[in-house]
Structures are given as C-alpha cells and as structure tokens.
Chains A and B, each alone.
Chain A
Amino acid sequence: MQPARPLVRPTGFDRMLAPIHRWIWRNSERRAYKLMRFGETETDGGRDILRAAEVTSDPLLRRLYLVHAIDELRHGMMFRQRAASLLPALRPSATPRFQADWLAPGGHGLDDLAVDSESDHSMLAFLHLSEKAAASRFTVYRDVLKDDPPTRAVFEEILHDETFHMNYTLTQLARISPQHHRRHIWRARISRLWKAYLRIASALAGLIGALLMTVQYFVLLPPFAWLAKRAARRERPGWSAVPPDSRDSLTRQY
C-alpha cells in the first residue's frame, strides 16, 4: 500500500469558519474538553469500523477496515492523552459552559451509523465523505493551533491517517462498484444532509419539549411536591413488608 499524501485542502465552508474555530480553540479549558470529546468520537468511530470489518464478506475490505479501525482507536487514545496532559494545568472544577461541539465536531462528526445494515458500497461512500469532512476540519484546527505545538502535532499525525482513509475508501468503492461509485457518493451526501436535518429537528424538538416540561414542573407540580415531601417525612427507613402476591399479579405493571 502506498503511503497517502498528507495534504488536504479545507473546504471553503471550513475556511470561512476559521475565525470561529480560532476563537473556540483559544480557550484552554474548552480545548482540553474538546480533545477529550474528540477522543470519544474517534473511539466510537473506530468501533463502528471494526464492526464493519466483522460483517463484510470481502476479505480485502475486512483487512483495510481493520487497519482503519486500529487507526481510529489509536487516534482516540492520542486525543485523550493530549487532553489529559492539558487538564491538570486547569482550575480543579473547570468545565467550560459552552463547548461548541456542533461548531467543531470531531472525526466522524455527529454522524450515526447502523453498520450491520449497511452494504459495503454505502459504508465505503459514507466513510469516504466523513473522512474527507474530518480531514478538512482537522486541517483548519491544525492551522488555528499554531500556539500549541503538541496539540497541532496530534492533528498533523491524525491528518496523515485521514488522508489514507479518504483515499482507500474511494479506491475500494471504485473497485467493488466500478460503474456506480459516483452515484453511491451522491447518495451518501444526500443521506448525510438528511441525517443532519433530522438531528437539528430532533434537537429543536427536544429543546421545546424540555421547555414545556420545565414550565409544567414549576406550574403544576408544587402541590404534589408538597404532598410527596410530607409523605417522605413519614417514611421510616429500614425493612418494609413485601405484600403477598396473588397468582395473577404478573399481569400488573404497577
């Protein structure tokens, strides 16, 4: 296997966001926690790719996926180690309020994947696009981290691997689906957009739901809370008798 070319040009969108990324990464607490989170994302991604290696029937893909998974798991370790070396220098209870995870996602970003039900070509197309997107973002992150050479070096090394991942996924997609590989990539693009829409929609729905629930909490619950607290005061710790069951009690949910 030829070594990959470690040169990735960020997309125009990522370049446009460079000032925001610079601001996000400037805060050392946010930087440490983001790296920790990146570590989790890479590890999760590695496990997904490992699963892909276990379910594919193509021996070459299995080996390539395995190498890819090992890389991702190693990246996770590198991010965590770097974060761990930054964290002790921070205030003991430092947790940045705004971590900007949506603005600066990690390796596979916020994509979710049902590996067991993916075909090889859709898996490869998905991986190619997510590796490409990750490489583009990581290039920007590397560039905005000029004042932190060790973190920059982590991104540099990972970028090298991401370029290989980006290339092999495209090559293999062309191998297993020579006529339709471009179509698969377009499908994967549309799928990523659809999933992004679903994520935003469900996050918004979650927010509205939480707001409504919070309003109900303060408006409806106080009298019941008073009753519950009064009942709790009467409760004695220690053993309570278990009521005997009748034979048909297994039909009850309460």
Chain B
Amino acid sequence: MRILGISAHYHDSAAALVVDGMPVCAVQEERLSRRKNDAAFPLQAIEWCLNHAGLEPDDLDAVVFYERPMLKFDRILTCALRAFPGSWRTFPHAMKSSLGEKVWVRGTISSHLGLPARKILFTRHHQSHAAAAFLTAPTDRAAILTTDGVGEWATATVGHGERRANGGTRITLLREIRFPHSLGMLYSAFTAYLGFAINEDEYKVMGLAGYGRPTMVDKVRRLVHHTDDGAFALDLDYFEFHSTARRSYSTRFVDLFGPPRPAYEPIDLASADGQRFADCAASVQRVLEDMLVTMARSLHAETGLSDLCLGGGVALNGVANARVLSESGFERVFVPPAPGDAGCALGAALYADRIHFGNPDRDVPDHPFWGPTVDGVELAQLAGEDGQIVDRCDDEGAVIRHTADDLASGRVIGWMDGALELGPRALGHRSILASAATTEMRDRLNRDIKCRDEFRPFAPVVPIEAADRYFELPAGGARLARFMSGVFRVRPEWRAALGAITHVDGTTRLQALDRHMAPRLHALLEEYGRCTGIPVLLNTSFNLSGEPIVNRAVEGYSTFLRCGIDVLVAGQTRVMKKGIIT
C-alpha cells in the first residue's frame, strides 16, 4: 500500500510517504520553501515525496491528514462562544482563517492531487503524535504519553501500544486532558511573557532556565495545579490564550510575576530584571518537569510497562525528558526525532497503514534521515564558478582526515552529508561542527555565525561508545540521547575541556551517535578524537537565525558565504572560503 501523510496549517507543515509499511521519505515544507516554520499546505513536500518514490498521485491508496479539521473548528468556535463578548475582536479573524481554508482539507487535498474523497482519511492529532512515537520506536509494548499546546480538543493523552506476535498492531489512548488546560500553552504563555516567539522559541526558555533558580515555583503552582484524578488544570484567570489571540497571559499574570520582557530588549543576566526572567524560566521549567514526571509515574504504575514513548511538542524539552527517564520508573524512554507536528505526517501515515488498514507491523529504520540528499558535485560546481578553493577528493578517508584537522585547528565546518533530517534537530547530516573545547568557540558561534543570544547553549555529538566517559548517562540515557532528546550532566572532570558545550548548570543536550546511523560523522568523531584526545564535537543546526535548516548544496553554500563558517563539506567536496568576489 502507498500512503501519504500530511500535516499542515498551524506550524511545521510536512509530508511523509509510507510504501508497503515502510517509510520511504519525509520532509518539512520549510526545508523546501525556505520559510521557517512554514505552515502552508505542503505542496512542495508532497511533490518531492511523490517524485522521490516515482509515484503519481493516482498511485496512492490513501492520503491521511494528521488531525480532524472540523473537530478543531468545533473547539475554536466553542472557545469564541465561551469568551463572548470578549472574543469579538478575534472572532472575525478566527472565522476567516478557519472557514477560508483550514476546514476544507478534504477538498484541498482532492483538488491538488486529483484524488477521490474516499481516499482521504483523518487521524486525530494526538493519535498521530502517539503513532509517530510508538510505531517508529524499537519496542513491542510501551506506554504512550503525548503532550503539546493543543490538537483538536486534547492537549495531553495517555495510553499504550502493542505489536503482537501475529504482526497486528494496536494503539489505545485511554484518557485525555482537554483544552484550555494545557502544559504546552502554560509554557508558551511564559515564552511570550519572556519576550520570545510562541511556537518557535520555547527552547530559549529552557536555555534561559539554566541561568536561573526556581524561586517562583510557588507562584507558578498558582497557575497550574494537580486535579484529584492525577491530571492538571490551569487557573484560567491568569491566561488569555483561550479567549483572544492578542495575548497569552492576563493582567493578573503580570501582577504576579512583574512586567513582561519587551521582545526587543536583550536579556542582561547581571541586572535584577534579567535574573527575574531567568528565575521565571527556571520556575516554569521545574513545574513542567514535575507535572510530566507525575503523569509518567502514574502511567508506569497503571501499565506496568518498562518502555515509554513520548510524543507532542512538549517532548522536545530535553530536561523534562531526562527527569521522566530517571524518576518515573520507566527503564527506556523513546522520543522520535520529530515529536512535534512535522512528525505527525509520518505518524498519520503509519497509523493508517497499521491500524486502519490492518497491515502487518514492520520495523521502521531507527534514524531521522528521510529528506532530500545533498549533492557534493553541485557544491563543487557552484564554488568553482565563484572562484572559491575547492577540493574534490575520491578518497573518503582523506576528506575525514582533512576535516578533523580543520576542526582540531579551531575551524568551523559546515557539514552536509546524505539525506536531510526530519525534525528540528541537526543530527549529523546538516550540521555546523566545531571544537567543543572552549567557551570562546561558543561565543564565536553565537556572535559570528548563529547571531543569537549569548545565553544560548550548544549541543555536543559523541560516539555512543565514548558517551559514558564524558557524560553522566543514566540507564536508558543513551537511547534518549540518540536523537538529542535528553539533557544530561557533563562529568565534572571534563567540563573545563568541554567548555563550548557545557551549559552554565553543568548540563548539555547530548547526541550519542551510533556508527550505523551516520557512519561518516562517526568516522569524523573518531578521527578528531585521534587528533585531540577527545572525540566530542559541538554540533548545531546548519542554519542562520530566522532561517530553516539548509537542504540542498546551494543553500549550504549561500549560508557558508554569509557567516563565519570556515570550511564547507558536502559528500566528497570541501570548500575553503575566499569571500564573495563580484
């Protein structure tokens, strides 16, 4: 069977193709359209997926959309009614947005692909998250916990999944928490309060939290409390996201926490206000972790299972994931490389294949590389035309050796290899690599390359065999670190030698690299380890501020020319910078 999964319209549009039960390709629309967080209907992604597999739309057996648009509209309309008359400003906008395009998904897909309506299916939003988490994880039975801002009505679900010996698969979602009670929205409200962009900058709150102390936990707990049945509820007097799109938090929220940070003002951690914002971030982070640990612990007690699959945008919070692993009782925690809405395209397609059509289960390859492949020859041609220094070498070992030497000499490398990652993390195929040794390197990357706030930490990549030597990985930690989904402590004796990737609180969001997942990067780490004694590199996504991760060689090349990257590597091509010569 050939099944196309689609996510669209809110953030992170994507398409994914499953053929005979196996993912063939998947890509986010932003990587092709070059608009960060592109939420448009993913026409380019669909076209690429079909071309990649050599299919015509008529060849598809089903197209699965990742949520139920009318159920979502029901929530939007109901919330507007509940907030009457206060919602009068947002109502016309919400109706225009929904009725203009978002509820007519069946017609949109049908007209774009020329398919009959009966081939178009809809999963529920959290079913898609659950499927993306469970059906891609190497486990036969697992509990499932999904949490995000909101899907249709659900903001969190718990359940379990099972692969049976006869090849059948089952995902059962037992309970859900409904909008407006949402951990994702709680975190987003603080994201907005701290002057960052909602649905985009939540990870900055997590980074800022490292600089603060959780001195306002009691205040945050006034906003969210546990219910008698072990769930949670928000005190809606502190929020406005459920009644207006203008602001996420209310005046009462501001009375409690003080004036919000203007988005245009830099955070000065030496000032009282800067410290207040950091403490605020640390406090909401702590409360979020506590809530998730409580829910996971209760799910563990209920199911008695040893594995947990986490899905939804909140599963991008690596600090919380690590605490869930160490405190909930689960032995292994699986987080897919794209736990957010982009991964739902793949989740929806797999759900339809395994559950709706009842096809036998198949093991899904355990990697994130489902996108377009980079072409080193294209890079050589572009750079050659521009008079850059190009080195094309057929000897694989030589490219690795030269690159390791460059890194050891303090050069920053743009690294493009094979197929593009699905999800927000650069996991070794579209990465900026640099020495992890010094804080100067961190500052240089923040200042000259990524152009971002100086408090933002960088992540390391290390061969999985060596991870335990440098980092305090609990049992099951290596699995969480496979896709950079957990934050762990750098061993104290290595912190000085790994200054560029050690956050202020001694932690780091580690990628423990399996040789089979990205063999060239693994070889580079080993070679770099031979040069310097420490096989750990700083690994950050290959993009500049406000831009999506690069996809093709030309995008890597234009990024390389615009920032302080010294050497660009794509396949067997190395390019050294001479500048832009007009």
A interface residue numbers (CB < 8 A to B)? 1, 36, 43, 47, 50-51, 53-54, 59-60, 62-64, 66-67, 69-70, 73, 80, 83-84, 87-88, 92, 206, 209-210, 213-214, 217-218, 221-222, 224-225, 227-229, 232, 235, 237-242, 244, 247-248, 250-254
Contacts and interface: CB of A to CB of B under 8 A. Distances in A.
Contact of A253 (B69, B262, B265): B69
A67 B358 CA distance: 55
A227 B77 CA distance: 13
B174 interface: yes
Given A209-B96, A239-B175, A251-B121, A51 B34 contact: yes
Interface stretch (B87-95, B430-438, B514-522): B87-95
A237 B178 CA distance: 8
Contact of B122 (A221, A247, A250): A250
Contacts of B382: 59, 62
B159 interface: yes
Interface stretch (B210-218, B225-233, B463-471, B531-539): B225-233
Nearest to B358: A247
B58 interface: no
B547 interface: yes
Given A63-B581, A237-B177, A250-B121, 19 more contacts: A43-B546, A47-B547, A62-B382, A66-B558, A73-B562, A80-B264, A83-B264, A84-B264, A210-B96, A213-B95, A221-B84, A225-B84, A239-B175, A239-B227, A242-B173, A250-B352, A252-B122, A253-B71, A254-B74
Contacts of A1: 582
Contacts of B582: 1, 60, 63-64, 67
A67 B562 CA distance: 9
Nearest to B262: A87
B181 interface: yes
Contacts of B74: 254
Contacts of B175: 239-242
A111 B9 CA distance: 23
Contacts of A66: 558, 561-562, 580
B174 A242 contact: yes
Contact of B92 (A84, A210, A248, A252): A210
A221 to B, nearest CB: 6
Contact of A67 (B81, B84, B105, B580): B580
Given A210-B92, A238-B228, A239-B177, A228 B82 contact: yes
A218 B84 CA distance: 9
5 closest A-B pairs by CB: A237-B233, A225-B84, A228-B81, A213-B92, A238-B227
A220 to B, nearest CB: 11
A240 B176 contact: yes
Contact of A50 (B81, B178, B233, B558): B558
Given A224-B81, A242-B159, A253 B91 contact: no
B363 interface: no
A209 B82 contact: no
Given A228-B82, A238-B228, A253 B174 contact: no
Contacts of B228: 238
A94 to B, nearest CB: 11
B276 to A, nearest CB: 16
B64 interface: yes
21 contacts: A51-B34, A54-B554, A63-B386, A66-B558, A66-B562, A66-B580, A67-B582, A69-B562, A84-B265, A214-B91, A217-B91, A218-B85, A218-B88, A221-B84, A229-B81, A232-B82, A237-B233, A240-B175, A248-B356, A252-B122, A253-B71
B68 interface: yes
B352 to A, nearest CB: 6
A213 B68 contact: no
B470 to A, nearest CB: 37
Given A88-B265, A228-B78, A239 B121 contact: no
A115 to B, nearest CB: 9
Interface of B: 34, 64, 68-71, 74, 78, 81-82, 84-85, 88, 91-93, 95-96, 105-106, 118, 121-123, 154, 157, 159, 172-178, 181, 227-233, 259, 262, 264-265, 352, 356, 358, 382, 385-386, 546-547, 552, 554-555, 558, 561-562, 580-582
B547 A229 contact: no
Contacts of A237: 177, 181, 227, 231-233
B444 to A, nearest CB: 18
A1 B552 CA distance: 30
Contacts of A228: 78, 81-82, 84
A92 B265 CA distance: 12
A253 B95 contact: no
Contact of B82 (A59, A87, A229, A240): A229
**B92, B227, B382, B385 — which one has the most chain A CB atoms within 10 A of its CB?**
B92
Contact of B123 (A36, A225, A250): A250
A129 B13 CA distance: 33
B68 A254 contact: yes
Contact of B88 (A54, A217, A253): A217
B214 to A, nearest CB: 24
B171 to A, nearest CB: 10
A54 B273 CA distance: 42
B562 A70 contact: yes
B558 A254 contact: no
Given A237-B227, A240-B178, A251 B85 contact: no
A239 B172 CA distance: 15
Nearest to A93: B259
A47 B30 CA distance: 13
A241 B157 CA distance: 10
A54 B68 contact: no
B173 A217 contact: no
A50 B547 CA distance: 11
Nearest to B348: A250
A16 B555 CA distance: 43
A59 B386 CA distance: 7
Contact of B64 (A69, A92, A218, A250): A250
Nearest to A85: B264
Contacts of A253: 68-71, 105-106, 122
B92 A209 contact: yes
B245 to A, nearest CB: 14
Contacts of A62: 382, 385-386
A225 B96 contact: no
Contacts of A248: 356
Nearest to A76: B546
B92 A238 contact: no
Given A36-B264, A92-B259, A222-B84, A239 B230 contact: yes
